[in-house]
Amino acid sequence: MKKIGLLNGIALALFCILQPASGEWISLGISPQSTAEIRVERADENGLRLHLMFSGFESEAVELAETDFQRLSFQGSGVWGQLGQPELPVLRKLVRLPEQSDWHWEIVNSDFVELSDYTLSPHQEGTVETPEGAYDPDVVFDETSYLMDRWFPTEPVELGSPIIMRDFRLGRLELRPIQYNPARKLLRVYRNLTVQIIFEGRGENPILNPRTQKSRVFSRLVTANVINPEAFSLDENDEVLGGYLFITPPSFQSNQWLTDLVEWK
């Protein structure tokens, strides 16, 4: 049980902390208030195609350093932004990748609206814990970034660098349905976004010497957390159950209770 809890903790560490939504609901007029919906239309060893439908978001009035801002969020969203620069909500998902391929994306179709008169709050460090107690750092405001006539973030999609966990190669997909131009105080909000992700070529951090057998427990954990679990087949014969390693002082090796425990496990 402890092992499964640890593995879940590792998987959750790939994602940002989910932010609860509260404030005024801004509807985009395509459906009732709901979460951002992702539908995987196709997934195989060559890539995947997904569709994001985004019905709206929450806008919360906040005050920082005696200045009024708006903080945006939606159910299941995480936070994007550099310290002192505009903060925006994003959606992060885990993708299983081929053992060696690179990956890139392209937008197949999109539909967005633009909303004016928004001053988004700057991203802050958050409460700092110290041995002497917790405190909130001074507010950081990057004035230069708020004068820029460009979109934050630059693209509505980002693919993270691949990581390897127990012979599974994984990558983080970041969908950014809201972009912000601070100079114009303008939001660009994608109501629909269809993205094609392609696996091809040689990518960074490949698996060079894959194991012939994978942990059954970890395999199920990966399957439960990636958005393309059916893209890669894995025969149960290629999976193994985990084992135990008992390390004891030499004086314990002759104890009958330890022998019984080892034989039982």
- What does the alpha-carbon distance between residue 56 and residue 23 come to, in Å, rounded to a whole number? 12
What confidence tens digit (pLDDT) does each residue in 109-120 have?
A: 999 999 999 999
Q: What percent of the chain has pLDDT over 90?
A: 64
Give the mean pLDDT of 203-210: 91
Q: Which residue in the block uniquely carries the two structure tokens 């131009």?
A: 181
Give the mean pLDDT of 154-166: 96
Average pLDDT, the chain: 87
Higher pLDDT, 32 or 261: 261
Give the mean pLDDT of 63-83: 95
Higher pLDDT, 166 or 35: 166
pLDDT of 34: 65
What confidence tens digit (pLDDT) does each residue in 7-49 have?
A: 444 444 444 334 444 589 999 987 666 679 999 999 999 999 9
pTM: 0.79
Higher pLDDT, 197 or 21: 197
pLDDT of 2: 43
- What does the alpha-carbon distance between residue 261 and residue 131 come to, in Å, rounded to a whole number? 41
Region of 185 on the Ramachandran plot (φ > 0 left; ψ -120 to 50 alpha; else beta): left
- What does the alpha-carbon distance between residue 171 and residue 231 come to, in Å, rounded to a whole number? 14
Region of 156 on the Ramachandran plot (φ > 0 left; ψ -120 to 50 alpha; else beta): alpha
Higher pLDDT, 5 or 27: 27
Higher pLDDT, 145 or 29: 145
What confidence tens digit (pLDDT) does each residue in 49-65 have?
A: 999 999 999 999 999 98
Burial category of 148 from C-beta neighbours within 10 Å (exposed 0-12, middle 13-18, buried 19 and up): middle
Q: Which domains does the chain have, with CATH numbers?
A: 2-264 (2.60.40.3800)
